Amino acid sequence: MLLTGLLLTGFVVFLTGSAVRAYLLLRLPIHGRWELYPVPGEKGRAAYGGSYYEENLWWQRPRATSFVSELGAMLGEMLFIRRLREHQKSLWWASVAFHWGLYCLAGFTALLAAGAAWEMGWGQAGPAALAVSAALRTATATLGGLGVALGLGGTLGLLARRLFDPALRLYSGPREYFHLALFAAAYVTALAVYAPALAAPGGRLALSLGVMKAVLTLAPVPADVAAGGAAVAHLVLLGLVLIYIPLSRLSHYVAKFVTYHRIQWDNGPNLPGSRLAGRLAREAGQPDAPGKAGANP
């Protein structure tokens, strides 16, 4: 039951911790305009980094923004870490592998939960249900395998850079090495659990499904999992990683949302009667911003 409790705690802490991190950053006062071009939301101008300030009498013209463009830029950063590729490609390979490993494992976890739920209670009868279950297992195993391979490769690549690049080594301290060591340990134990699966594909996935079913039903993990040293080590490390991420600098995925969307890409002007003006007034404890209908003169 301890393992189940640790994993459940891990998931809960990861989600709530991330949310709390986001809240703490987002409730800071609105920034005093630290935008940085190119701002992808500038419709028709994002490609070269232009802004509404390029228009004569800009405040009289409707602002043309593009959420799709901003979303595309954000996805590009999340999936491909574009800035790192452009400015430090030698580090990019390891970093993108590391992050893609995590994305694959997030997908693996989601599919595992779906598969476990499917097998436990939904549409149990009939060939269609079995086909869905089989498809889920295949997809889950694929994502899991990819995730571990990319994640471990990326982790070892980043570790090697920190150890052997004099410039990176200078700024890498216990915390940086601990982070990478923690991930490496989780991946290595995952491999130790799944390596025998090469001889019996799908067999070990049943272990993962068993663990997920236990978490979903608040039951102890299956006995064969609890008896396996590598499996226990992996699950403990997994739980600790999930708890540790939102409490540490590893929660930079939250900060990145703030620095990109709320700072660098937030170039909205403070115009009389605007929503921004209203927000500034509220933050400053002022009466409603003058210029707004019904407000103080």
Q: How far apart are CB 238 and other proteins at their closest, in Å? A: 22
Identify the residue among 1, 12, 15, 49 touching other proteins (CB under 8 A).
Answer: 49
Class of residue 68 by CB neighbours under 10 A (exposed 0-12, middle 13-18, buried 19+):
exposed
- Where would I find the H helices in 165-286? 166-171, 174-194, 203-217, 223-227, 229-247, 252-257, 275-283
Tell me phi and psi for residue 249, to 5 degrees: -65, -15
Identify the residue among 72, 196, 203, 290 touching other proteins (CB under 8 A).
Answer: 290
The distance from CA 127 to its chain's CA centroid, rounded to whole angstroms, is 36
Stretch that binds other proteins, among 54-62, 108-116, 149-157, 220-228 (CB under 8 A): 54-62
Determine the size of the site formed for other proteins (CB under 8 A).
73
> Under a CB-based contact definition with an 8 Å cutoff, are residues 152 and 161 in contact?
no
Identify the residue among 9, 18, 50, 184 touching other proteins (CB under 8 A).
Answer: 50
Q: How far apart are CB 207 and other proteins at their closest, in Å? A: 34
How far is the C-alpha of 182 from the C-alpha of 295, rounded, in Å? 56
Binding to other proteins (CB under 8 A): which residues in 191-210? none
For residues 220 and 262, which CB has a smaller minimum distance to other proteins in the complex?
Answer: 262
For residues 90 and 223, which CB has a smaller minimum distance to other proteins in the complex?
Answer: 90
* DSSP helix, strand, coil percent of the chain (3-state; round to 5): 75, 0, 25
Identify the residue among 8, 11, 77, 93 touching other proteins (CB under 8 A).
Answer: 77
Q: How far apart are CB 190 and other proteins at their closest, in Å? A: 24
The distance from CA 243 to its chain's CA centroid, rounded to whole angstroms, is 14
Q: How far apart are CB 258 and other proteins at their closest, in Å? A: 6
The 8-class DSSP code of residue 107 comes to H
Q: Does 260 participate in binding other proteins (rule CB under 8 A)?
A: yes
Closest residue by Cα to residue 266 from 76, 3, 42, 86:
42
For residues 126 and 285, which CB has a smaller minimum distance to other proteins in the complex?
Answer: 285
Q: Does 63 participate in binding other proteins (rule CB under 8 A)?
A: no
How far is the C-alpha of 295 from the C-alpha of 287, rounded, in Å? 8
For the chain, give the longest Cα–Cα distance: 79
Q: How far apart are CB 71 and other proteins at their closest, in Å? A: 16
For residues 171 and 198, which CB has a smaller minimum distance to other proteins in the complex?
Answer: 171
In the block, which residue shows the tokens 């200078």? Answer: 170
Each residue 154-193 as x (binds other proteins by CB under 8 A) or -, in order, gives: ------------xxxxxxx---x-----------------
In the block, which residue shows the tokens 């590729």? Answer: 85
For residues 138 and 262, which CB has a smaller minimum distance to other proteins in the complex?
Answer: 262
Q: How many CB atoms lie within 10 A of CB 73?
A: 19
Q: Does 294 participate in binding other proteins (rule CB under 8 A)?
A: no
The distance from CA 220 to its chain's CA centroid, rounded to whole angstroms, is 28
What the block records as the tokens of 20 is 């709390």
For residues 52 and 100, which CB has a smaller minimum distance to other proteins in the complex?
Answer: 52
> Under a CB-based contact definition with an 8 Å cutoff, are residues 92 and 84 in contact?
yes
Q: Does 102 participate in binding other proteins (rule CB under 8 A)?
A: no
Q: Does 283 participate in binding other proteins (rule CB under 8 A)?
A: yes
Q: Does 61 participate in binding other proteins (rule CB under 8 A)?
A: no
